[in-house]
Amino acid sequence: MDFDETHGGDAPLGATVLADGGVLFRVWAPDAARVDLVLAQGERAMEPGAGGVWTARVDGVGAGTRYRFRVDGCGPFPDPYARSQPDGPHGDSEVVDPRAHVWRDDGWRGLRMPGLVLYELHVGTFTAAGTFDAVIPRLDGLRDLGVTAIELMPVAEWPGARNWGYDGVDIFAPSHVYGGPAGLRRLVDAAHARGMGVVLDVVYNHLGPDGNYLSQYARDYFTERYTTPWGWALNYDGANSAMVRRFVTDNIAMWAREYHIDGFRLDATFAIFDASPRHILAEIAEAARAAAAPRDVVLIAETHENDARYLRPASDGGFGFDAIWADDFHHAVHVRATGERQDYYAAYRGSLDEIAATVERGWLFDGKHSGPNGHTRGGPSHGVPATAFVYCLQNHDQVGNRAFGERLSSLIAPDAYRALSALLLFLPYTPLLFMGQEFAARSPFLYFTDHHAELGRAVTEGRRREFEHVASGHEVPDPQALGTFLDAKLRWAERERDHGRETLALYGELLRLRREDPVLREQTRDGLRAWAAGDVLFVERANAAGRRLLVLNTGDWLRTDAARLEPPGGVRDDVWRPLLSTDAPGFGGMGSDARLSRDDVRLPHMAAVIFAADP
């Protein structure tokens, strides 16, 4: 038998189309006394093998064959390794032959962190059609803007017709709602043809409850030793954990090998528990890189831990990741911009000094610094490259986990939004844009689900209890309602209207400067410093090609004629010329004068100006 994929010399689990004809079916069910393969033409007993793996070879079938497994007379159940669930997680599994797609990306070398500009999107709400194929016509506009990779929220099969993706249960099967395996391959191929990468959000800390049949095969898929806020924790360090570890390493290897995915954002890595000598995160990283070779992949962790261990190589006791979602920047800026201090924002003052410290360190909490509530966490960021910090002004969590799903552009004035956008894209860190951010989209992004009635009621009631303290007498939108999902779809016409067009022009120019300016295109923390003076934030970047200074005037977030202050030491002696002002008329501003000289700093109120000084 000729297998395209192997795992330690062993045949793959799931359904494998054989080169010499037929399909090999293999499933791990260590607790079972009997397992039967269920096909349309009947059932057949599977052969038990080492490690609790059951096998059956069937000739005369191939891609498109529907199947399930019956375990000790119960079921039949879908395949945990199913590559396709055409009718959702409760339906039949479908055999898929990954060799059927003819890839056109032979020259594509993958992604690396330097120069990366991420664009997070939810496939179902990014377009009216809500499919992988519908994303493709929008890729040219994103590429022309300066985006180098789209980041897809989870696409693994979930219950119902709409979901954020974090309730996924069939982690090997791209959602049939979005277009299934073939649709995802077409999207990735189309992105590569345009010089863009595809990063995939994957969830290995829990699985959703609805359609989750793993425990029917093995009680050791999950553990009660640890808990997550979202469901049962996966068993990475207990009895039979070797096969659970294989489950996720096989999964990330499949995305890299069979779909040519260029990178992975691992959800809530702080809730992936493993006391083994070698942490599963290090094993996941190794599996992804091995499967993608010779292409490059990037691995990004979502964690609030501010722990450089994620970024160290496994040989140095680390996990071998490339980057971390560094939320301290978002939180400090959000508090400054909105005045909101509830929940996790309570750890932040939102002062310009705090923002400056975050910019200089990469993250704010480094094990020494504490917020106003005495909260400390994290460790030092010395030696961590700038590219390893993923910065954002908004993402699906920070928008969607609000009672009414308001975007930042709906919470603050347009001039403030423009100024903060300039700050984000001026910094040497890896920027992440959330879909629609580039044209200040007004559509909310709400939490939505399509669970069965009982679970749906529980989700709705839980959501409303969670936000009853901030709802101010308004009813929190029902996650189960179709309208909640439809309201979250981007309104692309906004991109062409005055405010949208002007904001898009600003983002385009800021991203052009990141690519072309000899100082800003170098993503290094060397030559970076930030400080505050009154209501003004200064951020300087410098190298042998010159100096660039962003001056952000915040004040009380209200427009006045101008703000003046003496320039700080070290700035006085250079001749500065403005490169960009967020108050320019083409970006929706008033066109007020901006100046930086030996005598004073003059800039529009609630605006950011980028100045240049040449050697």
**Of 199, 100, 159, 125, residue with least CA distance to 485:** 125
pLDDT score at 342: 86
Q: What is the DSSP letter of 1?
A: -
Q: What's the whole-number mean pLDDT along residues 459-473?
A: 81
Residue 230 makes CB contacts below 8 A (sequence gap 6+) with: 166, 205, 206, 268, 271
Instruction: Give the DSSP H/E element, type plus range, for residue 462.
Output: helix 453-466
User: Alpha-carbon distance 281 to 279, whole Å?
Assistant: 5
pLDDT score at 542: 95
pLDDT score at 1: 36
% pLDDT > 90, the chain: 85
Q: What's the whole-number mean pLDDT along residues 257-277?
A: 97
Residue 52 makes CB contacts below 8 A (sequence gap 6+) with: 28, 29, 30, 31, 32, 218, 240, 243
User: Alpha-carbon distance 238 to 222, whole Å?
Assistant: 9
- E strands, 244-376, are 263-266, 298-301, 323-325
User: Alpha-carbon distance 372 to 340, whole Å?
Assistant: 14
User: Alpha-carbon distance 163 to 89, whole Å?
Assistant: 13
Are 312 and 319 in contact by the 8 Å Cβ rule? The answer is: yes
pLDDT score at 564: 58
Chain position carrying tokens 């509530």: 373
pLDDT band at 140; cut points 50, 70, 90: very high
Residue 9 has pLDDT above 60, yes or no: no
pLDDT score at 4: 43
Are 408 and 400 in contact by the 8 Å Cβ rule? The answer is: no
pLDDT score at 567: 64
Convert the pLDDT of each residue in 23-37 to its tens digit: 999 999 999 999 999
Domains of the chain plus CATH, in order, are 14-97 (2.60.40.10), 527-613 (2.60.40.1180)
**Of 186, 172, 169, 170, residue with least CA distance to 132:** 186
Convert the pLDDT of each residue in 162-200 to its tens digit: 999 999 999 999 999 999 999 999 999 999 999 999 999
Q: Which two tokens stand for residue 536?
A: 């003004």
pLDDT band at 572; cut points 50, 70, 90: low
Distance from the first to the final alpha carbon of the chain: 66
pLDDT score at 472: 66
Residue 554 has pLDDT above 80, yes or no: yes
> Where does residue 561 rank: exposed (0-12), middle (13-18), buried (19+ CB within 10 A)?
exposed
Convert the pLDDT of each residue in 508-549 to its tens digit: 999 999 999 999 999 999 999 999 988 899 999 999 999 999
Q: What's the whole-number mean pLDDT along residues 470-482?
A: 84
Q: Which two tokens stand for residue 332?
A: 């400090």
Residue 7 has pLDDT above 60, yes or no: no
pLDDT score at 498: 87
User: Alpha-carbon distance 337 to 406, whole Å?
Assistant: 14
pLDDT band at 412; cut points 50, 70, 90: very high
pLDDT score at 108: 97
Q: Which two tokens stand for residue 156?
A: 């693994």
Determine the length of the chain: 615
**Of 451, 441, 454, 443, residue with least CA distance to 481:** 451
**Of 579, 564, 570, residue with least CA distance to 610:** 579
pLDDT band at 470; cut points 50, 70, 90: confident
Q: Which two tokens stand for residue 255?
A: 């995305």
Read off the pTM: 0.95
The catalytic site residues sit at: 267, 302
CA-based torsion, 35, 69, 283, 236: positive or negative: negative
Comparing 373 with 155, which gets the higher pLDDT? 155
Are 606 and 419 in contact by the 8 Å Cβ rule? The answer is: yes
Comparing 206 with 475, which gets the higher pLDDT? 206
Query: By three-state DSSP, how is residue 54 classified?
Result: strand
Residue 3 has pLDDT above 50, yes or no: no
Residue 254 has pLDDT above 90, yes or no: yes
Are 550 and 538 in contact by the 8 Å Cβ rule? The answer is: yes
Q: DSSP labels for 477-508?
A: PPTTSHHHHHHTS--GGGGGSHHHHHHHHHHH
Residue 416 makes CB contacts below 8 A (sequence gap 6+) with: 337, 554, 557, 606
What are the CA-CA distances from residue 451 to residues 9, 161, 213, 300 (Å)? 40, 9, 16, 29
pLDDT band at 565; cut points 50, 70, 90: low
User: Alpha-carbon distance 203 to 359, whole Å?
Assistant: 29
Q: How many CA atoms lie within 13 A of 59 on its CB side?
A: 3
User: Alpha-carbon distance 465 to 480, whole Å?
Assistant: 15
Q: What is the dihedral of CA 492, 495, 499, 505, to 10 degrees?
A: 160
pLDDT score at 593: 84
User: Alpha-carbon distance 356 to 253, whole Å?
Assistant: 40
pLDDT band at 560; cut points 50, 70, 90: very low
Q: DSSP labels for 173-236?
A: EE-TTTTHHHHHHHHHHHHHHTT-EEEEEE--S---STT--HHHH-GGGEEEEEE-SSSEEE-S
Convert the pLDDT of each residue in 574-592 to its tens digit: 788 999 999 999 999 999 8
Q: Which two tokens stand for residue 448?
A: 């939505």
Residue 73 has pLDDT above 70, yes or no: yes
Residue 392 has pLDDT above 60, yes or no: yes
pLDDT score at 340: 93
Q: Which two tokens stand for residue 69?
A: 């497994």
Q: What's the whole-number mean pLDDT along residues 458-472?
A: 83
